[in-house]
């Protein structure tokens, strides 16, 4: 706070209240004392505000760190759950593939067995056709 100009202050008091004060008047000493007390109080409040700001900043950093830890934990839990779901899907797909593969082998088994029988029938029919052809043309 700026220091009072005692002459200006004395002139202002005279103009407002019609009282003339000299620069060595005890009333002006009280004004100066009030000014000093006010400056000291403002300084103490400013220090208190700065300390409070620092505490708020520290609390904010703690909250931020705590929130980061909680977020990291949640992300790990979600990733773990996703891995577990994927593993279950892979296991299910593997079981289905094994089931389809084994089912496919059993369903193809008669087909594999019928090829030799079919080939044998074709050879017999072809041979019979050749025999008939020799007999009729021969």
pLDDT digits (tens, 9 = 90+) for 82-122: 999 999 989 998 888 888 766 655 555 555 567 777 888 88
pLDDT digits (tens, 9 = 90+) for 27-39: 778 888 898 999 9
pLDDT on residue 40:
96
Work out how many domains the chain is built from and give that number. Answer: 1
Instruction: Give 52's Cβ-side CA count (13 Å radius).
Output: 6
127 lies in which domain range? 6-137
Query: For residue 1, is pLDDT > 50?
Result: no
Confidence label for 49 from pLDDT (cuts 50, 70 and 90): very high
Query: For residue 70, is pLDDT > 80?
Result: yes
Q: In the block, which residue shows the tokens 């002139």? A: 11
Whether residue 1 lies inside any domain: the answer is no
How far apart, in Å, do the first and last CA atoms of the chain sit? Answer: 140
Which structure tokens are listed for 92? Answer: 């299910």
* Predicted TM-score (pTM) of this structure: 0.44
Whether residue 51 lies inside any domain: the answer is yes
pLDDT on residue 53:
95
Whether residue 94 lies inside any domain: the answer is yes
pLDDT on residue 26:
83
């Amino acid at each position: 706070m700026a220091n009072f100009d005692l002459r200006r202050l004395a002139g202002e008091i005279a103009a407002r209240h019609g009282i003339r004060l000299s620069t060595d008047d005890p009333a002006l000493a009280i004004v100066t004392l009030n000014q000093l007390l006010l400056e000291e109080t403002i300084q103490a409040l400013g220090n208190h505000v700065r300390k409070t700001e620092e505490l708020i900043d520290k609390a904010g950093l703690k909250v931020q760190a705590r929130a980061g830890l909680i977020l990291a934990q949640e992300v790990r839990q979600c990733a773990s759950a996703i891995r577990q779901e994927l593993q279950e899907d892979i296991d299910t797909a593997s079981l289905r593939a094994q089931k389809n593969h084994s089912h496919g082998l059993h369903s193809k088994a008669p087909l594999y067995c019928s090829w030799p029988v079919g080939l044998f029938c074709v050879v017999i029919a072809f041979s019979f056709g050749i025999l008939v052809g020799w007999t009729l043309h021969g």
